[in-house]
Amino acid sequence: MVETAVDLRHVEPHKFQHAEFLKQVTMMWNSRGLSENPAALLHGFLSLWLTVSHSGTGSGMARNIARIKAGESPL
């Protein structure tokens, strides 16, 4: 994102989503003793997050970067 000068209006929400992801994984890890099957819980969360991320913001960011590299303005 930085290398292609993606507009900060697009970068900040992307970074926020990653920070929220880390908070959620940390919370799940810290409370793993309260779950009967913490591995299944984490697996379900990661599967869902990766699916949403890949089909949403992540793929949108990849498309924006490709458009910038093709000469479109980052704005």
- pLDDT class of 59 with cuts at 50, 70, 90: low
How confident is the model at residue 37, as a pLDDT?
92
What are the tens digits of pLDDT across the range 25-54? 999 889 989 989 999 989 998 888 887 776
Q: Give how far Cα 44 sits from Cα of 26, 54, 66, Å.
A: 15, 15, 31
Segment 5-25 shows an average pLDDT of: 82
Segment 44-72 shows an average pLDDT of: 77
Residue 10 in this model has a pLDDT that exceeds 80: no
How confident is the model at residue 55, as a pLDDT?
65
